[in-house]
């Protein structure tokens, strides 16, 4: 395991080591298949070192089905317009790229806005992993809301026994922190 290790004791030929940094971070870090998002970038951007709070994403309170996973992939289906909040615990603005895949059960156009501005729009093809990327988004301290909208209402999978209506799924949401502004 990488990091700076300090020997804190030994008995005969057994040594005891401790990793040198706030162990609170180890407890807080969970896998993307548990949280529905991944954060990448330098530790000094990923963590508010004063309080050990991480940059994270929170799926909005409405229109999301529960997190689903398969292997290393993770996704959440929506049942209508929805949102994801990115929380920047830093006292400064962070520049980031946000990437994700989108799937749909029927052709539709999806739009993502931040602070009222369109940051991504595309025509989605059904049964495809439509790749999306938002480059150079500014994350001021606090919460930045990404609003996901569709031009059509939710629909059921054709020929499926699943009763849930779906608008689109957001797959493998990743926030890559690039720098401090």
Give me the torsion for CA of 60, 136, 25, 101, rounded to 10°.
50
The string of DSSP letters for 73-107 reads EEEEEBSSSEEEEEEE-SSS-EEEEEEEEEE-SS-
Q: What's the confidence (pLDDT) of residue 31?
A: 83
**Res 47: pLDDT:** 85
pLDDT value at residue 24: 45
Q: Tell me, what's the pLDDT at 27?
A: 41
Would you say 76 and 33 are in contact if contact means Cβ atoms under 8 Å apart?
Answer: no
Q: Are 171 and 96 in contact (CB under 8 A)?
A: no
Tokens for 75? Answer: 């996704």
Q: What is the pLDDT of residue 51?
A: 75
- Nearest partner of 154 among 141, 165, 142, judged by Cα: 165
Written as tens digits, the pLDDT of the chain (181 aa) is 655 566 777 788 888 876 655 444 444 467 888 889 999 999 889 988 777 789 999 999 899 999 999 988 999 999 999 999 999 999 999 999 999 999 999 999 999 999 999 999 999 998 778 999 999 999 999 999 999 999 999 999 888 899 999 999 999 999 999 999 9
Rounded CA gap, 123 and 109, in Å?
A: 4
Cβ–Cβ < 8 Å for 158, 71: no
pLDDT at residue 56, rounded to an integer = 94
């Amino acid at each position: 395991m990488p990091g700076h290790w300090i020997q804190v004791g030994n008995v005969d030929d057994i040594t005891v080591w401790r990793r040198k940094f706030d162990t609170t971070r180890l407890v807080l870090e969970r896998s993307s298949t548990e949280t529905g998002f991944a954060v990448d970038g330098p530790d000094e951007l990923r963590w508010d070192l004063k309080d050990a709070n991480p940059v994270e994403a929170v799926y909005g309170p409405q229109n999301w089905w529960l997190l689903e996973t398969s292997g290393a992939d993770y996704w959440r289906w929506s049942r209508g317009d929805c949102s994801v909040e990115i929380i920047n615990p830093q006292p400064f603005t962070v520049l980031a790229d946000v990437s994700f895949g989108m799937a749909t059960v029927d052709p539709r156009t999806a739009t993502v806005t931040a602070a009222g501005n369109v940051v991504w729009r595309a025509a989605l093809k059904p049964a495809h992993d439509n790749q999306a990327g938002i480059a150079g988004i500014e994350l001021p301290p606090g919460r930045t809301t990404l609003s996901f909208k569709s031009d059509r209402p939710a629909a059921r999978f054709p020929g499926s026994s699943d009763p849930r209506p779906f608008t689109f799924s957001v797959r493998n949401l990743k926030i890559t922190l690039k720098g401090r502004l």
